Structure 1
C-alpha cells in the first residue's frame, strides 16, 4: 500500500502517524507520504502520483476543491459538498470521495451528540465546513446557521447553503443574537501554535449544550475549555481525523475497518496533544 497527503504546507500534520497505525492494526505493509506542492504543480503531480504506484491520496487545505477538475469521477457526497479529501487511483482513473462527511458522523455518534431536530451553528466556510453542513442537513437538523466574516461573499458557497436551506450571518450578528443546541468550529482559530485564540466569545459559547471543535492540536482548545466550564458536552477533532483516515483506507483497501480500530488510534493520538 502506497498513499500520501496532498497539501500546500504540511509541517504539523498527524496523518502519517495515523495511517501507519492503521496499517499496523490491519497487519499490512504500507507507506504514507507527505506531498507538499505549490498550486501550479497540482495537475502535473496528480498525473505523476497515479503513474508512480500510489493507491490513493488524501487532500487537505487548500486543494480540496482544486483537485476536482483532474478526477475521472466524483462520489455523490463529494459532488454535493463540493470538496474532495480522498482520491483513489485505479486502472480506470482517479476517483474522488469525501470521508470528512462520514468521519464527522462517526465522531458525533461516539460522543453521544445528536443533531436531528437541533439548531446547529457552524463557524467557517471551508471544505470541512461544507462536509459538516451537508451532514447536518442530511441528518435532519432543525436549522443550520453558518457564521463567517463575509457572508454571501463566495458565490459557490452561497449557492451551496441556499440548496441546503442554511442561513449565513456575520460574527457580529452571532455575538449579539444567536444561541442554539450544537456549535461546530470549522475555523483554524485556536490551533497550534496560536492556542490562546477563540473564534467567538464565552457569552456565545455558554449558550450551547454541545460544542464541537475540529481542531485536534491542542487537544483542549480555549473554545472547548469555555464550553466545559458551562457544562457542555464537548468533542475535539481527533476522533473525526482518525475516522476520516479510516474511511479513506476502507476505500483504498476495499474492506471495512472496525470502529474499535478508530477508538484505539484516536486514544493513542490524543495523548500526543495533551
Structure 2
C-alpha cells in the first residue's frame, strides 16, 4: 500500500515541501506521496485523528501550529523540547512523536555554504522568536560558542541569553557598529522592511562578514539587498528549508536524500541563487 506524508498549517498553498519530498521519493524509488493539508488551529485535534485513521506515516508542521501541536503528541524529542516547537512528526508504535529539524537544518545549510571555520568565530543572531531559539540551540550544540543576540524587545533576548548561555545581549538601538562580528544571522520578518528600519550600518562590517537571512520568499530581502550592496557574502533561507526537510525525510524513511539536486530545482522554480559571493 502506498505510504503518504503531509505538511499541515495555514496558509499552506504556497509550500514548496510537496515538490521537494515528492522529488526525493521519486529519486529514491520509494512508493510514497506527500501532500499539503490546510489545518486551522481550532481543528488541529480533529485533523490529527483523521490523519491517524487514514494511515499517515508522518508530517511536517508549519505556522501557526508548531507550538499548538505539542499537547496532542505522545512524546517530543529533546530537539523539540529545548525549543518548545515541533516541525516534524513521525508515526510510531507508541503514537505520534514530535521533533524539530529547523535548527540543525540551518546549521547544515550555513556550513555547506560558508564552511565550518566560523565555529570559532564571533556571531550575532537577530531575533528572539521560535526560529531564533531553534537556530541558537543548534549553533550551541554544533560548537559555536561565541554568539551574541539582539532583538527589538530586550526582555526576550535576555531570556534566550540566560537559557542558552549566549555571550552578550545587544540593545537594538545601540548596534550600529558591528565590526567585531564574523557572521550575522537574521531570523525575523524585519528583514523584509526597508533599511531605514534597521539600526545596522552595513559599512561598519568586515568585508569577510557572512550574512544569512532565513527568509527565502521573497528571494532577496531588504536586509540581504543592503548587505549585497556592500559586497558581502549573503545566504537566504532556501538551504535551511531544504536541509530541515532532508532531516525530516531521514526520520521517516531512514534514507538521506540528495540536497544539492533539489536546491537546484527549487532555485530554478523560485528564480535565483540562494547564496551570493
Sort the Cα spacing of 1:177 and 1:244 in 2 relative to 1 into closer, same or farther, 3 A.
closer
Equivalent residue in structure 2 for 1:76, among 75, 78, 86: 78
Equivalent residue in structure 1 for 2:16, among 14, 17, 20: 14
| Alpha-carbon distance between aligned partners in 2 of 1:105 and 1:92, rounded to the nearest angstrom | 30
| Alpha-carbon distance between aligned partners in 2 of 1:103 and 1:27, rounded to the nearest angstrom | 24
Match of 1:222 in 2: 222
Sort the Cα spacing of 1:175 and 1:8 in 2 relative to 1 into closer, same or farther, 3 A.
farther
1:175 aligns with 2:176: yes
1:252 aligns with 2:252: yes
| Deviation (angstroms), 1:207 | 1.3
Corresponding residue pairs, total: 265
Stretch moving more, 198-207 or 101-110: 198-207
Match of 2:275 in 1: none
Aligned-residue Cα RMSD (Å) equals: 2.5
1:61 aligns with 2:26: no
Check whether the contact 1:144–1:165 (CA below 8 A) recurs between aligned residues. Answer: no
| Alpha-carbon distance between aligned partners in 2 of 1:103 and 1:90, rounded to the nearest angstrom | 23
Sort the Cα spacing of 1:271 and 1:198 in 2 relative to 1 into closer, same or farther, 3 A.
farther
Check whether the contact 2:177–2:200 (CA below 8 A) recurs between aligned residues. Answer: no
Stretch moving more, 167-176 or 143-152: 167-176
Match of 2:109 in 1: 107
| Deviation (angstroms), 1:170 | 4.3
Sort the Cα spacing of 1:158 and 1:44 in 2 relative to 1 into closer, same or farther, 3 A.
farther
> Normalized against structure 1, the TM-score is what?
0.86
Ranges in structure 2 where 5+ consecutive residues have no aligned partner? 272-277
| Alpha-carbon distance between aligned partners in 2 of 1:93 and 1:212, rounded to the nearest angstrom | 37
Match of 1:32 in 2: 34
Sort the Cα spacing of 1:88 and 1:42 in 2 relative to 1 into closer, same or farther, 3 A.
same
| Deviation (angstroms), 1:134 | 0.8
| Deviation (angstroms), 1:247 | 1.0
1:116 match: secondary structure: helix
> Normalized against structure 2, the TM-score is what?
0.85
